[in-house]
């Protein structure tokens, strides 16, 4: 009896997105996300560190990238933090930022997000990377962005969490842990500061970014690196330009992304 051949069926790739830390440079993530939306690139799981956690959680909740960047343009450091000297663990209170996150995510838990999301933080007690996938989304984002020395660490079960950039600023290796078979990464934290820090806070933020750039950087299948080196990580005035740099980088990467999705 002759063999009956069955047509080969491709299994669509499970696409993971990895978003790095980079403080205000994270506005470039919005530009990348806008292009991915316009080109209908499917995203099945998102991992984000620090600013990438903020962008990733907002996108996973269904917030349009253009709305994300519009909200960023209205922010400033005085609206996010305030001095609380003296304190044992931080120079600033992030109560205004906490309230902003609570207002944005409305007490949502991870299982209420439209896209599975992983926030990357660091346990200051052990130095280990901690991947947050359950519980309150706003608290997880706050933990992932808790720059040590500046902002209060976040208690999370037996963990005391600080900014994930301390140990994993570019979480390109995280989406495969949650089923991704193709990973698109966006790194906005690799560049040095374009000018000397102007005050002690800028100096601490610059030191945190230097620490985040240490060690071997994991690779994604597609690494998108927006040209943001000329912009400060601390100035919200650059948000519109950062957004456009993110768009330009994503548009340049689209042929490679399309090839990756078809090849896989």
Give residue-wise pLDDT tens across range 64-119: 999 999 999 988 877 787 777 656 677 788 888 888 898 889 889 999 999 999 99
Quick: pLDDT tens for 151-189: 889 999 999 999 999 899 999 999 999 999 999 999 998
Quick: pLDDT tens for 120-161: 999 999 999 999 999 999 999 999 999 888 888 999 999 999
Quick: pLDDT tens for 219-261: 999 999 999 988 888 889 999 999 999 999 999 999 999 999 9
CA distances from 243 to 12, 35, 66, 237 (A): 30, 11, 9, 11
Backbone angles phi, psi at 159, to 5 degrees: -95, 150
Q: Which residue has 């956690």 as its token pair?
A: 53
CA distances from 94 to 70, 71, 152 (A): 21, 18, 7
Confidence of residue 3 (pLDDT cuts 50, 70, 90): very low
The pTM assigned to this predicted structure is 0.89
């Amino acid at each position: 009896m002759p063999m009956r051949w069955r047509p080969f069926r491709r299994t669509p790739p499970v696409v993971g997105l990895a978003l790095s830390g980079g403080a205000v440079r994270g506005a470039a993530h919005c530009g990348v996300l806008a292009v991915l939306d316009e080109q209908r690139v499917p995203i099945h799981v998102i991992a984000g560190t620090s600013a990438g956690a903020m962008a990733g959680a907002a996108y996973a909740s269904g917030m349009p990238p253009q709305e994300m960047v519009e909200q960023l343009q209205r922010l400033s450091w005085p609206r996010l933090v305030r001095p609380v000297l003296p304190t044992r663990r931080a120079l600033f209170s992030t109560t205004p930022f906490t309230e902003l996150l609570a207002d944005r995510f409305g007490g949502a838990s991870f299982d209420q997000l439209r896209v599975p999301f992983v926030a990357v933080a660091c346990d200051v007690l052990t130095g280990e990377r901690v991947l947050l996938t359950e519980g309150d989304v706003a608290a997880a984002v706050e933990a992932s962005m808790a720059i040590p020395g500046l902002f209060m660490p976040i208690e999370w079960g037996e963990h005391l969490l600080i900014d994930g950039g301390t140990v994993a600023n570019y979480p390109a290796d995280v989406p495969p842990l949650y089923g991704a078979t193709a990973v698109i990464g966006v790194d906005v934290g690799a560049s040095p500061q374009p000018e000397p820090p102007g005050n002690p806070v800028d100096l601490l933020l610059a030191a945190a970014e230097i620490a985040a750039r240490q060690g071997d950087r994991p690779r994604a299948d597609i690494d998108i690196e927006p040209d943001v080196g000329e912009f400060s990580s601390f100035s919200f005035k650059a948000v519109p330009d950062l957004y456009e740099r993110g768009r330009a980088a994503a548009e340049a990467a689209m042929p490679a992304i399309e090839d990756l999705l078809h090849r896989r």
